[in-house]
């Protein structure tokens, strides 16, 4: 039940880059998958990227594929989301969470607990 802690958000111009960090507990890193989701006003929390903790396979939402990269530093119990070529539509609160139920990536109901989120704002 230890919450991961997201950081690295901020205000950036379109075309810029940010790297988000998700600092997790060891128990969180025992999960099948660590995922990044995002939520903007009026929208559901949506899958962005995830990485399997065994094997390292990653998955991405179509909207971010080729621009975002998820990675993990096991020594630091930290998962990163490198975001390049940012667009205004990437503006959202970004959350990190653990999936301990399945190796599948996409269903947010499989993830628990959630971090507090970090705000990413991309200006035009």
pLDDT digits (tens, 9 = 90+) for 35-91: 999 999 999 999 999 999 988 899 999 999 999 999 999 889 999 999 999 999 999
Phi, psi of 65 (to 5 degrees): -60, 135
DSSP state of 103: S
pLDDT for position 108: 93
């Amino acid at each position: 039940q230890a919450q991961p802690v997201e950081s690295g958000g901020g205000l950036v111009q379109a075309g810029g880059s940010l790297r988000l960090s998700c600092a997790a507990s060891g128990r969180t890193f025992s999960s099948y998958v660590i995922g990044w989701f995002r939520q903007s006003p009026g929208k559901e929390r949506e899958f962005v990227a995830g990485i399997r903790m065994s094997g390292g396979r990653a998955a991405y939402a179509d909207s971010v594929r080729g621009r975002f990269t998820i990675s993990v530093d096991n020594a630091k119990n930290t998962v990163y989301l490198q975001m390049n070529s940012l667009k205004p539509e990437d503006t959202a609160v970004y959350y990190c969470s653990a999936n301990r139920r399945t190796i599948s990536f996409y269903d947010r109901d499989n993830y628990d607990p959630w971090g507090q989120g970090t705000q990413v704002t991309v200006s035009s």
